[in-house]
């Protein structure tokens, strides 16, 4: 199964993608996580990506598309994958459609997790992220077992650099300008499913499962 997660920053794409990946036994691929891992390791790509991410802007397509194409060509992707945070622009979506078509493949679903802007800023301030394994927590809604420590890998949790309220606002603007048009793109491809992302995490997950099938 090949799935794309759509939704505003903080809509819960990463939270749901993790659970879907586990249920269907497919890799969860987040371009944001890949960039953050590169930033942590101090790679050239990380240095370039950070200058955009810290401002709430998108990393240019020229750095993002090849990275994602290389990732989905790896062996663990042969039975499918769930993409979280890619595509984020029409050129990214077109590149993906084209690359899949060349292999006679296509996406199965684009799941849009719908959350209005007013709910987002509140969620982001409470988020805590593990930069080592990509796990996501919330101090009120999804707290780790031990404060500040990742349940999955034991690394320290941090507030992401781009989760400051003014940066979140810019990310929302960028989302509406550049990423929201993908909803129409996948609607036209007849693979769009929208779920209400304001519900609690379990309900959102159940709604997604109802679309994807058991």
Residues catalogued as catalytic: 13, 88, 127, 160, 171
Tokens read off for 28: 């969860």
Q: In this chain, which stretch among 10-18, 21-29, 102-110, 181-189 interacts with ligand AP5, using CB under 6 A?
A: 10-18
Q: In the complex, which residue's CB is closest to Mg ion?
A: 14
| DSSP per-residue codes, 152-191 | TT-PBEE--GGGSHHHHHHHHHHIIIIITHHHHHHHHTT-
First to last CA, the chain: 12
Per CB under 6 A, the list member of 4, 6, 53, 208 interacting with ligand AP5 is 53
Contact 197, 17 (CB under 8 A): no
Q: Find which of ligand AP5, Mg ion, none residue 183 binds, CB within 5 to 8 Å per kind.
A: none
Contact 17, 204 (CB under 8 A): no
* Residues 6 or more apart whose Cβ sits within 8 Å of residue 71: 29, 34, 77
Per CB under 6 A, the list member of 58, 110, 135, 192 interacting with ligand AP5 is 58
Per CB under 6 A, the list member of 10, 186, 207, 208 interacting with ligand AP5 is 10
Could you tell me which of 14, 16, 10, 8 has the C-alpha nearest to residue 207? 16
CA–CA distance, 97 with 148 (Å, rounded to integer):
40
Positions 179 through 198 that interact with ligand AP5 (CB under 6 A):
197
Per CB under 6 A, the list member of 6, 9, 111, 150 interacting with ligand AP5 is 9
Bridge partners (DSSP) listed for residue 82: 3, 28
- Cβ of residue 118: shortest distance to ligand AP5, in angstroms? 14
Q: Which is nearer to ligand AP5, 71 or 212 (CB)?
A: 71
Cα distances from 35 to residues 16, 79, 94, 118, 120, in angstroms, run 20, 24, 21, 27, 22
Q: Find which of Mg ion, ligand AP5, none residue 28 binds, CB within 5 to 8 Å per kind.
A: none
Positions 7 through 46 that interact with Mg ion (CB under 5 A):
14
Per CB under 6 A, the list member of 41, 70, 166, 200 interacting with ligand AP5 is 200
Q: How many residues bind ligand AP5 (CB under 6 A)?
A: 36
Write out the residues near Mg ion by the rule CB under 5 A.
Answer: 14
Write out the residues near ligand AP5 by the rule CB under 6 A.
Answer: 7, 9-15, 30-32, 35, 52-53, 57-59, 64, 85-86, 88, 92, 123, 126-127, 136-138, 141-142, 162, 171, 197, 200-201, 204
């Amino acid at each position: 199964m090949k799935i794309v997660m759509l939704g505003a920053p903080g809509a819960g794409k990463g939270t749901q993608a993790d659970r879907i990946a586990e249920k269907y036994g497919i890799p969860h691929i987040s371009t944001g996580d890949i960039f953050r891992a590169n930033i942590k390791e101090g790679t050239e790509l990380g240095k370039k990506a950070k200058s955009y991410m810290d401002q709430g802007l998108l990393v240019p397509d020229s750095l993002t598309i090849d990275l994602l194409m290389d990732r989905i060509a790896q062996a663990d992707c042969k039975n499918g994958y769930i993409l979280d945070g890619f595509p984020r622009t029409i050129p990214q979506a077109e590149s993906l459609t084209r690359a899949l078509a060349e292999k006679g493949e296509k996406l199965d679903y684009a799941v849009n997790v719908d959350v209005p802007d007013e709910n987002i800023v509140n969620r982001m301030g409470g988020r805590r992220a593990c930069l080592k394994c990509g796990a996501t927590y919330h101090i009120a809604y999804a707290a780790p077992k031990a404060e500040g420590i990742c349940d999955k890998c034991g690394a320290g949790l941090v507030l992401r650099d781009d989760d400051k309220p003014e940066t979140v606002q810019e990310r929302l603007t960028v989302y509406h300008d550049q990423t929201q048009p993908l909803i129409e793109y996948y609607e036209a491809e007849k693979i769009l499913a929208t779920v209400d992302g304001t519900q609690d995490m379990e309900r959102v997950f159940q709604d997604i499962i109802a679309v994807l099938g058991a």
